[in-house]
Amino acid sequence: MTSTHGTVGRVVNFPVRDTATRAGAAVSRAAADVGASVTRFTDEQAGVVDDWGRDPGLVRIVIGASRLRWDVTVGGDQRLPKRKGALIVVNARALALAPIFSALALSEAVDRPVRFVGRPDTAPVGAFVRRIGGLLDHPDEVAGALAAGELVIMGATHDERLRKVGRVDHALVGGALAAGVQVFPAATLSSPIGRAARLEIGTASRSPRRRRGPLSELELADQVGRDIEMLLAELGDIRTGTPLDWFPLTGIGGA
Amino acid sequence: MMMTGKRVFVSGVGGELGTTIAGLLEQESWVGELSGIDADPPRHRLHRTVFHRIHPDEHDRIVDTVCRFNPHVLVHVGVWEPDARAAPSAAATLTDQAATSILGAAAECSALEHVVVRSGIEIYGRGRGALTRPSESAPIAPTSDWGRTVAAIEHTAAKVGERVGVTVGAVRLAPVLGPHVPSPLGRLLRQPGVPFSVLADPPFAVIEDRDAARAIVAAARIGLAEPVNVVAAGAITALQAARRGRRIPIPLVGPDWRIARALSFLLGAPIPDHVSETLHRGRLADNGRMRELLGIVPEHGTVDVIDRLYHWPSIIHQPARVQVA
């Protein structure tokens, strides 16, 4: 689920403050890089939560349980930065929980905690989702996590047409620009009746033009959507091995 | 780099945090004269600090003392957390009196260059949709009495700074815990049974008193001119804290909290609204700019501070050396 949060552009600053903010952010990032020690998913201590309220012990249990539902093949994870943060945008079908299964599978693949956007702020569901790595659907929340060097997955809205990607929330993409991290498109394929699922991460998306204002996040969000559609086209159709595959509109597929 | 021989005035020097700050300031080479004020005497021996015991409602004496000292730097930590040393209403009154008198007096001092105020991450509030880890740029929307109190202090200090033309830095501390720090959260966690919200059990972060004092001293030294979150790394939930301290976790839902608050009050560990909010909605903040702005990082993480909380001795009974009765 995405929203615009009433923001036109998260990258706009007044000129005087702009220089200071950029310099401050650069110093902050440099300082963070010097002392950066990436948390390893396998090394995380159980019985405590991390800085964002994610419980590694619970995440391991949920990953084990999720294998009953999904058997996820992860590809393209070598493209992600080893230490820095990154925003990964996936296509999401209604009720497919694509950001969640993608985050769980990617955590194991890259051995880093991976968070996802779309936590409700009501107990007990919101509290549980926070424990497994959920973040609020808010640009500042996403920007804060990305600036802290976290991998964050967000979903595009659902599009009824097969192999088409819905709207990518430009405000959240603006959070990535503000944090100075890359945005990666990723295609997900899953089936409502089978376990096989796939997450394929593409190369980082780039805005077609250099912009100084909020157009940069709008154009980058559109570009990410197009890149995901390209990845979906490259993946082809998923096969269940059943006669369902013979029908043209089975609802099987990622978009 | 600051010049040497600066006159530094510490309000709230009688509290554990204020005494630790004064102790650290005494070791700073840039500090010349050091003076402090509080309603209670300092908790430790201070060698260079001149202490004035004045109650916050003695407005004229405070103004006279501060103006005579004519400080270059004012460190304002004279705040009363609700149910720490005073009941919530008394704490709010004392904090307001101290802030008005001391910051107002400092504004009259010709030598004043810089003001540092102790604030709290409660200033961000925990309303629905509030950010999980607000940074310093997050909107100020306090949802507890203590949050509104620290917001008022920051507001008053900012107004003074604007009017007089001096820099003002606000050190937004996570809940401060320490062996001798009167903290409602610390007191509650040390009870034999620790209540937690069974539906939410959200995470919170804390800061140890010495790390908090180091941050405030650093803010005074560098002339911090903006707010900074001072929070220990990591987080913990009430259930996890109870388990680490081998306390009995008491799961509560909805109306149970009323009973728990009343019982806890009778047991000597009242639960003010900001602590209740912490247990229901969590309390985290982004400490990413601490190193950049203050040049220091906390020595102890949140889990470490909680572990130490349970290892601090409770009451040590010293038998009389000479039995007189």
- For residue A119, the chain B residue with the least C-alpha distance is B129
Distance CA B307, CA B304 (A): 5
pLDDT at A6: 47
Asked if the structure places residue A252 within a domain, the reply is no
Q: Is residue A245 predicted with pLDDT exceeding 70?
A: no
Task: Report the relative pairing of strands B114-120 and B227-230 from DSSP bridges.
Answer: unpaired
User: Residues A177, A179, A185, CA angle at the centre, nearest 5°?
Assistant: 50
Distance CA A207, CA B123 (A): 38
Cβ-contact A213, A9 below 8 angstroms? yes
* pLDDT: which is higher, B242 or A37: B242
Asked if the structure places residue A12 within a domain, the reply is no
Q: Which residues contact A67 (CB under 8 A, 6 or more apart)?
A: none
Distance CA B52, CA B55 (A): 10
- For residue B233, the chain A residue with the least C-alpha distance is A51
pLDDT at B2: 58
pLDDT at B264: 92
CB contact under 8 A, B133 and A130: no
Distance CA A194, CA A105 (A): 17
Residue with tokens 């008193």: B209
- Region A92-110: mean pLDDT is 91
Q: Is residue B221 predicted with pLDDT exceeding 70?
A: yes
Which of A28, A121, A144 lies at the smallest CB-CB distance from B292? A28
**Could you please report the per-residue DSSP string of B107-157?**
HT-TT--EEEEEEEGGGG---TT--SS--TTS-----SHHHHHHHHHHHHH
Task: Report the relative pairing of strands A196-201 and A182-190 from DSSP bridges.
Answer: antiparallel
pLDDT at B145: 95
pLDDT at A163: 77
Q: Can you give the residue range of the structural domain that contains A127? A: 37-237
Backbone angles phi, psi at B170, to 5 degrees: -115, 125
Number of neighbours of residue B44 by Cβ within 10 angstroms: 10
- For residue B241, the chain A residue with the least C-alpha distance is A48
pLDDT at A160: 75
Q: Specify which residues B235 forms β-bridges with.
A: A49
- CA-based nearest residue to B46, from B63, B24, B31: B24
Q: Is residue A249 predicted with pLDDT exceeding 70?
A: no
Asked if the structure places residue B61 within a domain, the reply is yes
Q: Specify which residues B229 forms β-bridges with.
A: B172
Q: Which residues contact A17 (CB under 8 A, 6 or more apart)?
A: none
Question: What's the total number of domains in chain B?
Answer: 1
Distance CA A114, CA A112 (A): 6
Q: Is residue A225 predicted with pLDDT exceeding 50?
A: yes
Q: Chain B partners of A136 at a C-beta cutoff of 8 Å?
A: 129, 131-132
**Could you please report the per-residue DSSP string of A159-174?**
-SSTT------HHHHH
User: Residues A50, A174, B151, CA angle at the centre, nearest 5°?
Assistant: 60
pLDDT at A159: 81
Q: Which residues contact A255 (CB under 8 A, 6 or more apart)?
A: A91, A93, A159, A161, A162, A163, A164, A165, A229, A232
Alpha-helical (H) ranges within chain B are 16-26, 59-69, 88-107, 145-164, 184-189, 209-222, 238-244, 256-266, 273-281, 290-294, 302-311
Asked if the structure places residue A158 within a domain, the reply is yes
Asked if the structure places residue B69 within a domain, the reply is yes
- Region A234-245: mean pLDDT is 69
Asked if the structure places residue A17 within a domain, the reply is no
* pLDDT: which is higher, A86 or A33: A86
CATH classification at residue B133 = 3.40.50.720
Cβ-contact A177, A22 below 8 angstroms? no
Distance CA A25, CA B161 (A): 25
Which of B137, B138, B235 lies at the smallest CB-CB distance from A49? B235
* pLDDT: which is higher, B90 or A34: B90
Straight-line distance from the first to the last Cα atom of chain A, in angstroms, rounded to the nearest whole number: 15
* pLDDT: which is higher, B172 or B57: B172
Asked if the structure places residue B325 within a domain, the reply is no
- CA-based nearest residue to A187, from A221, A223, A219, A227: A227
Tell me which residues of chain B have a C-beta less than 8 Å from any C-beta of chain A.
128-135, 137-138, 197, 199-203, 205, 233-237, 240, 243-244, 282, 284, 286, 288-289, 291-292, 303
Helix and strand numbers (H, E) in chain A are 7, 7
pLDDT at A22: 46
- CA-based nearest residue to A122, from B261, B251, B134, B130: B130
CATH classification at residue A106 = 3.40.1130.10
**Could you please report the per-residue DSSP string of A84-122?**
S-EEEEE---TT--HHHHHHHHHHHHHTS-EEEE---SS
Cβ-contact B158, B123 below 8 angstroms? no
Q: Is residue A36 predicted with pLDDT exceeding 50?
A: no
Which of B133, B200, B292 lies at the smallest CB-CB distance from A124? B200
pLDDT at A29: 47
Task: Report the relative pairing of strands B203-204 and B236-237 from DSSP bridges.
Answer: antiparallel
pLDDT at A248: 62
Distance CA A146, CA A178 (A): 9
DSSP code at position B274: H
Straight-line distance from the first to the last Cα atom of chain B, in angstroms, rounded to the nearest whole number: 60
Joined tokens for residue A101: 């299964």
In this prediction, residue B312 has a pLDDT band, given cuts at 50, 70 and 90, of confident
- Region B92-113: mean pLDDT is 92
pLDDT at B131: 94
What is the nearest CA distance from B284 to chain A, expressed in angstroms? 8
Q: Chain B partners of A53 at a C-beta cutoff of 8 Å?
A: 132, 202-203, 235, 237, 282, 284
- Region B282-300: mean pLDDT is 94
Joined tokens for residue B40: 């209670």
Per-residue model confidence as pLDDT tens digits over B179-189: 889 999 999 99
| Residue A197 one-letter amino acid | A
Asked if the structure places residue B55 within a domain, the reply is yes
Q: Is residue A13 predicted with pLDDT exceeding 60?
A: no
- CA-based nearest residue to B177, from B217, B138, B204, B140: B204
Asked if the structure places residue A255 within a domain, the reply is no
Which of B137, B199, B203 lies at the smallest CB-CB distance from A53? B203
- Region B40-52: mean pLDDT is 91
pLDDT at B180: 84
Asked if the structure places residue A58 within a domain, the reply is yes
Q: Is residue A238 predicted with pLDDT exceeding 70?
A: no
| Residue A26 one-letter amino acid | A
Residues above pLDDT 90, as percent of chain B:
85
Asked if the structure places residue A90 within a domain, the reply is yes
Q: Is residue A254 predicted with pLDDT exceeding 50?
A: no
Asked if the structure places residue B279 within a domain, the reply is no
Q: In what order do the strands lie in the sheet with B167-173?
A: B49-53, B31-38, B6-11, B73-76, B114-120, B167-173, B227-230
CB contact under 8 A, B234 and A51: yes
Burial of A169 (C-beta count, 10 Å sphere; 0-12/13-18/19+): buried
Q: What count of CB pairs under 8 Å joins A to B?
A: 85
- CA-based nearest residue to A163, from A238, A75, A242, A74: A238
Q: Chain B partners of A121 at a C-beta cutoff of 8 Å?
A: 128-130
Distance CA B260, CA B246 (A): 19
Q: Can you give the residue range of the structural domain that contains B218? A: 6-180+205-233+285-301
Question: What's the total number of domains in chain A?
Answer: 1
pLDDT at A37: 56
Joined tokens for residue B84: 């720490």
pLDDT at A106: 95
* pLDDT: which is higher, B15 or A162: B15
Q: Specify which residues B195 forms β-bridges with.
A: B250
